[in-house]
Amino acid sequence: MSGSPARRSKSKDIDNSETIAMENVLSRRSPMHHSVDVKGDSASQYVEDIERVYTGRSDVSGSGTAESEKPHLHRGLKARHLTMISLGGTIGTGLFLASGASIANAGPGGALIAYALIGIMVFFMMECLGEMATFLPISGSFNNYAGRFIDPALGFALGWNYWYNWAVTLAVELTAGSMVMAFWAPWVPGYVWSIVFLVLVLSLNLFSVKGYGEAEYWFALIKVLTVIVFIFLGILVDTAVLGDVYYGVEVFRSGGVRGTGILSTFLTAGFSFQGTELIGVAAGESENPQKNVPKAIKQVFWRIVLFYILSIFIIGLIIPFDDPMLLKNDVGDVSVSPFTLVFQRAGIQPAAHLMNAVILTTVLSAGNSGLYASSRTLYDLACENKAPRVFKKVTKAGIPIYCVLLTGLIGMLAFLTSLFGNGVVYNWLLNISGVAGFIAWLGIAASHYRFRQAYVAQGHLVSDLPFKARLFPVGPIFAFLICSFVLVGQGYDAWSADPVDPLDIVACYIGIPIVLIFYFGYKIVMKSKFIPLMEVDLDTGREEILR
């Protein structure tokens, strides 16, 4: 892919002095890539790997031709892929099902407040990610950023946390897929559908990154069109153009804002937006990251907020907050989806079948994204010597083959735990991964704060950044505080239960100590240190976009 017109044009624009400076950086190890004092011959395996192979990167040791001929990740994702990948990661069951419970708990006004506040936080978080991903577009992105901008131990902990999160998500979607299909074919054993969906998702990820990108594009497009049609029909239903009832704003006004339910809705909204950061993982395989990533980020945020806010507003206008159907959000019963209820009021009789098909698309999209994100995260960890080297293996088609296969295997094993022992193990796996997305967002905000500090401290001009996050440092600080609040408050229901069940409280927070074990374990074994601003590596991995 290194011979693309976009990349050839960049080589004409680079200044000779910048080229010489780049060569000087590559001729020596960055201070953060020092050897750790470990006794024995195995010490070399604990060296942060500056020779990791980025897409199209030449060998720093001088054998550029040999290295460039090695298989590597391909930049095959276009701007439309990036936009739909990020949209597809957020528009899902959180909107199609859980939005009903949000309105029931907080009222339509309270739900709007909760989703709007989380939307603002996501805006700042994506601005942080956009600045870093356009400057340093590598596979694994924000997990790698934490390791090079803050502390290698933090990058290790966030990387494995994120990999595990999406591997378990794959298992969740395999289970959900079988439940969705039971709506049409209840006589077929659920595990049969789960196996079929696993084979399908593996097929999309094993041959080329374009296969993943195209599948995600069409999956997301179906969901986006569904939301657009829903908003349009909802307006017609509310104004009595469709149906015999004029709703106006009376239903919305009667629901109002239910203050006691806003906190739990705040948490639900946070979980619904998870997946937006996938664009940072995909940036390493984007055709023109400096152009396409900012473009996708600017489009995605406003579309997501528009879809979520308008959809919840429409539901609140038509469906009373105390409708008992809103409190049910089982993926196996699409008849209770607020989307289904509104479509039925519009006179669409097969609404349940329509929404079941859309939710099936949502499940496949989430599984597809989960396998992609976790495999690229594992690949990045292997490139940094934070995972076994065997996972650095890349096919000629640019696929980290062993990363994809292992993730698929782990996802299948996690799914199998749901079939035995009343699903106890499976539920604990879900609890451990439940907060992983918020921890990843914390890492993004903290990494960006340190990135900007190091960038300025090392004499660079903020005006030279290809994408500048707005309202720095307010943005990353606000995102960090909100994510921290969500992490602490997500056990609200467990704490307020009567009687309080200690196991429920442990289940809510178990993901946090797991990450701390990874962090301190790596720090103790590897003796990693907090990286001074002047020693932060801002160069490794930028060689391709500077050519």
Q: Which two tokens stand for residue 321?
A: 């907050």
Q: What is the chain's mean pLDDT, rounded?
A: 79
> Between 92 and 46, where is the model more confident?
92
| pLDDT score for 106 | 87
Write the DSSP assignment of 192-204 as a string of letters.
HHHHHHHHHHHHH
pLDDT category at 520 given cuts 50, 70, 90 is: very high
Alpha carbon distances (Å) from 416 to 13, 204, 336, 373, 423: 54, 22, 28, 21, 9
> Between 103 and 542, where is the model more confident?
103
Q: Which two tokens stand for residue 83?
A: 């936009």
Alpha-carbon distance of 507 to 517, in angstroms, equals 16
Alpha-carbon distance of 417 to 428, in angstroms, equals 10
Alpha-carbon distance of 139 to 381, in angstroms, equals 10
Inform me whether the pLDDT recorded for 10 exceeds 60. no
Least confident residue range of 63-72, 292-301, 487-496: 63-72
Report yes or no: 122 and 276 within 8 Å, Cβ to Cβ. yes
Q: Which two tokens stand for residue 423?
A: 């699903």
Inform me whether the pLDDT recorded for 194 exceeds 90. no
> Between 276 and 132, where is the model more confident?
132
Q: What is the pLDDT of residues 318-376, one digit of tens each?
A: 999 888 877 666 555 555 788 888 888 888 888 888 888 888 898 888 888 889 889 98
Inform me whether the pLDDT recorded for 521 exceeds 90. yes
Alpha-carbon distance of 128 to 458, in angstroms, equals 19
Q: What is the pLDDT of residues 61-101, one digit of tens each?
A: 333 444 445 667 777 788 788 877 767 667 777 788 788 88
Beta-bridge partner residues of 286 = 77
Alpha carbon distances (Å) from 298 to 115, 283, 410: 19, 14, 34
Inform me whether the pLDDT recorded for 410 exceeds 50. yes
Pick the closest to residue 515 from 446, 442, 445, 418 (CA basis): 442
Alpha-carbon distance of 279 to 127, in angstroms, equals 12
The DSSP H or E segment spanning 445 is helix 436-457
- Could you tell me which residues come within 8 angstroms of residue 281 by beta carbon, excluding any fewer than 6 positions away? 139, 140, 141, 372, 373, 376, 377
Secondary structure class of 286 (helix, strand, coil): strand
pLDDT category at 421 given cuts 50, 70, 90 is: low
| pLDDT score for 32 | 37
Report yes or no: 292 and 82 within 8 Å, Cβ to Cβ. yes
| pLDDT score for 328 | 63
Q: Exposed, middle or buried: residue 191 (CB in 10 Å: 0-12, 13-18, 19+)? A: middle
CA 391 to chain centroid: 21
Q: What is the mean pLDDT of residues 277-281?
A: 81
Alpha-carbon distance of 503 to 113, in angstroms, equals 31
Pick the closest to residue 320 from 290, 302, 342, 353 (CA basis): 342
Q: What is the mean pLDDT of residues 264-276?
A: 81
**C-beta atoms surrounding 324 within 10 Å:** 9
Alpha-carbon distance of 293 to 287, in angstroms, equals 10
| pLDDT score for 405 | 93
Q: What is the pLDDT of residues 429-465, one digit of tens each?
A: 777 777 888 899 999 999 999 999 999 999 999 999 9
Inform me whether the pLDDT recorded for 487 exceeds 70. yes
Q: What is the pLDDT of residues 209-232, one digit of tens each?
A: 888 888 888 988 898 888 889 999
Alpha-carbon distance of 348 to 344, in angstroms, equals 5
Q: What is the pLDDT of residues 390-405, one digit of tens each?
A: 999 998 888 899 999 9
